[in-house]
Amino acid sequence: SAYWILAASGWTLQPSRILTRTHNTITSHLHLVPLSTFSQIKFLNEPEKRRVCIGTKGQLRPSLGNGGDDEYVLGVALTQRDLESVAKLTYECFKQEIVVNYDSFSEWEANMIKPIVAAFETYTDGVGYADILTGTQKRAAKSMNQRDGKSLLDIFPCDGNVKGDGNGSSIILALANKQSGRTIASVEVRLLVPDGKIPFSQPSLDELERKVASIFAPNLASKYKGYALKKDIDLDLGQPYLCNLCVDESARGRGIGKALLRCVESLAKDTWKYNRLYLHVDPKNVPAYDLYTKEGYVDVGFRWDPVWAGRAVDIAYVFKDL
């Protein structure tokens, strides 16, 4: 699901470090601010092997036979148009296809069913995209239209004292073409309480589910509170979570997903001074599951599993110490 979130935990009260930038944008089509224009982005100065396919200026390094790859640059999404492009990619990467075996129908039955299926797909496409876009807008409300801000820290709190989920503080990175504005990869980091709940796209639904769970599933609290006690985690405080790591099908196999994951890890550790990253991943999504396990993520050991959770209990809740 596009709504399953990766998360980070652990905090420190080290002084904030301001990340200044110039006010240029990647393209006239989008308004992504290149990550390289911020100071103290350590990921861009890390060894080439660590950055995988991203250059020191945030550009996608050319692969064999792809001389135009350097036209793709990693930037921060700050406007409505940016979020629309990211939401479109997110929906395309996570949408569920309707599969109909027309061989089991007669010709006239198939001809009757096909337009119904097509109409339903059109409807679900519109609803699915709209839900992802509106959810993203709410989660990134504080970063929207912050092109004149001087610091990523104006958007994303890093003193470890933000209560609850810190709604509106999401930062979204996107890898987009400087000329066309086409987005081929994106990732989001936001604040969430590390209680193991798989978040919805709409933040208000998370608040509602927690209230319902406190009444009808009180046993959940003992699971994550026991874990928090062992790890010295304050469950009243939001922690940085990563979500919606997406790579366009045409750009897969280049290590882009690994590079974006490592970039967020670097931001969480070096810029915002947190020390742990959590995530939910479906073990049946083999490429994603393999990526996270190879990068050092291990199972937390508990699940958010109220009676209404259904298949959600099969989703792995893992973390990595940074």
- Residue 140 identity (one-letter amino acid): A
Q: Does residue 283 carry a pLDDT above 60?
A: yes
Q: Does residue 207 carry a pLDDT above 80?
A: yes
3-state class of 277 per DSSP?
strand
| Tens digit of each residue's pLDDT (9 = 90 or more) over 49-82 | 999 999 999 999 886 445 556 689 999 988 888 9
Residues near 182 by beta carbon (within 8 Å), at least 6 away in sequence? 85, 176
- Pairing verdict, β 183-192 and 6-9: unpaired
Question: SS3 breakdown of the chain: % helix, strand, coil, rounded to 5?
Answer: 40, 20, 40
Q: Does residue 16 carry a pLDDT above 50?
A: no
- Higher local confidence (pLDDT), 275 or 52: 52
pLDDT band at 178 (very low <50, low <70, confident <90, very high): confident
Asked if 291 contacts 262 with a C-beta cutoff of 8 angstroms, the reply is: no
Predicted local confidence at residue 201, as pLDDT: 86
Residue with tokens 């940085």: 240
